[in-house]
């Protein structure tokens, strides 16, 4: 009897425990399936976001301001000198320059793919498209179209003199990234960028908008081109922050590989301070009109934002990626302010001011 009672109790206890176990297991499996489904949905959504982001980064639309700003500032400087503006030339210069910047971006992706510098760069056009040859051919086709447009504008302006400066600018872009030179691997990208987009391109666009072969090379356009080259080089410098490890792996001696991110953040701080100091010095020397200095000074908060962002995030690889886009904003608003100041100076110069308020020695 005792044995029977024991067996009955044991059996009941075991069955209940087994039922509880199976019930718990079903609940766990159901929960796991729900979590897996939710995780899959999140991953799918994240994948879609990531792909869209990669395409946006590959297009690099904000970077095309490096084409727009030199044309706009050069045209404004020509208007300041002559009072003339040629809208059709301006539009053709913008389209042609966008083609040439596209060549720079695409060919840079091709050659960085060859060296392995873009091995982990998901937004590389070559990695996204999956065709190195197709990307390369398309890049050079864009360069040919861009050159054709620039030559057309030069012929319309009646002078091929600006084409020599634009040729120098394109050569700077070629030796920056293309074999056998690849001077970017020696850390010489910033001075090449300064020369190409500053004195060479901005001055050439000034001549093309001048409407006459006799347009002088004034101190105003030289000063303006220096400022444009300065902000353009800052974009390139800040684009290296998140690529230091990949650059080191392929022997690319960018400035930030040499000095590190902490000192690089200090360089950005000094560079922004120097930009605005140079603006005021050029204004005091009367090489830039007062209106250009005032409007340029109004962009100082954007300059401070660039400095603070880099100072706070230079160690955060994911966040510091945005540094170059902050620099693009600075480049755009500063260049726009400079151009607006030049146009305003010409506009107000047309007004007949009372002699009593004209400052003269």
Task: Report which of residues 109 and 287 the model is more confident about.
Answer: 287
Task: Report which of residues 132 and 29 the model is more confident about.
Answer: 132
Q: Would you state the pLDDT for residue 31?
A: 53
- Which of helix, strand or coil describes residue 178? coil
Contacts for 70 with CB less than 8 Å, ≥ 6 apart: 97, 197, 198, 201, 202, 205, 225, 228, 232, 335
Q: Would you state the pLDDT for residue 129?
A: 77
| Residues 41-70 pLDDT 10s | 444 444 444 676 767 666 777 788 999 999
How many CB atoms are closer than 10 A to CB 148? 11
Q: What is the mean pLDDT of the chain?
A: 84
pLDDT of residue 355 exceeding 60: no
Contacts for 263 with CB less than 8 Å, ≥ 6 apart: none
Burial of 13 (0-12, 13-18, 19+ CB in 10 A): exposed
User: Whole-angstrom distance between the N-terminal and C-terminal Cα of the chain?
Assistant: 129
Q: Would you state the pLDDT for residue 16?
A: 57
Sign of dihedral through CA atoms 67, 73, 76, 81?
Answer: negative
Q: Would you state the pLDDT for residue 30?
A: 53
C-alpha 109/C-alpha 121 separation (Å) is 10
pLDDT of residue 339 exceeding 90: yes
Domains by residue range for the chain, with CATH? 61-349 (1.10.600)
Helix axes 201-208 and 161-177, enclosed angle (nearest 10) = 150
pLDDT of residue 28 exceeding 60: no
pLDDT of residue 89 exceeding 80: yes
- Region 245-251: mean pLDDT is 86
pLDDT of residue 352 exceeding 50: no
How far lies 357's CA from each of 35, 289, 291, 348, in Å?
Answer: 77, 17, 16, 14
Q: In this structure, what DSSP letter does residue 86 have? A: -
| Residues 269-326 pLDDT 10s | 999 999 999 999 999 999 999 999 999 999 999 999 999 999 999 999 889 989 999 9
pLDDT of residue 360 exceeding 60: no
């Amino acid at each position: 009897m005792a044995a029977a009672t024991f067996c009955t109790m044991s059996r009941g206890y075991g069955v209940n425990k087994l039922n509880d176990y199976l019930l718990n297991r079903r609940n766990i499996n159901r929960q796991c399936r729900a979590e897996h489904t939710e995780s899959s949905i999140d991953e799918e959504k994240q994948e879609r976001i990531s792909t869209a982001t990669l395409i946006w980064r590959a297009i690099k639309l904000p970077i095309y301001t490096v084409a727009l700003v030199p044309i706009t500032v050069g045209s404004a400087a020509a208007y300041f000198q002559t009072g003339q503006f040629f809208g059709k030339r301006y539009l053709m210069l913008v389209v042609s320059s966008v083609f040439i910047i596209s060549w720079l971006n695409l060919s840079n992706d091709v050659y960085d793919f060859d060296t392995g510098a873009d091995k982990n760069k998901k937004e590389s056009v070559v990695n996204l498209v999956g065709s190195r040859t197709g990307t390369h051919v398309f890049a050079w086709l864009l360069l040919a179209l861009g050159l054709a447009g620039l030559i057309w504008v030069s012929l319309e302006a009646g002078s091929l003199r600006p084409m020599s400066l634009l040729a120098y600018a394109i050569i700077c872009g070629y030796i920056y990234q293309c074999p056998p030179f690849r001077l970017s691997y020696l850390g010489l990208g910033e001075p090449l960028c300064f020369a190409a987009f500053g004195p060479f391109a901005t001055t050439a666009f000034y001549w093309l908008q001048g409407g006459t072969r006799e347009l002088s090379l004034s101190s105003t356009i030289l000063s303006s081109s220096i400022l444009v080259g300065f902000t353009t080089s800052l974009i390139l410098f800040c684009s290296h922050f998140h690529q230091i490890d990949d650059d080191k792996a392929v022997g690319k001696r960018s400035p930030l590989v040499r000095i590190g991110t902490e000192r690089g953040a200090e360089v950005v701080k000094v560079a922004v301070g120097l930009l605005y100091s140079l603006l005021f010095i050029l204004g005091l020397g009367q090489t830039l009109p007062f209106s250009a200095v005032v409007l340029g000074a109004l962009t100082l908060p954007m300059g401070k934002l660039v400095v603070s962002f880099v100072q706070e995030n230079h160690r955060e690889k994911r966040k510091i990626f945005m540094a170059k886009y902050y620099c693009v904003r600075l480049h755009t608003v500063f260049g726009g302010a400079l151009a607006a100041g030049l146009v305003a100076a010409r506009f107000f110069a047309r007004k007949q001011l009372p002699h009593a308020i004209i400052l003269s020695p």
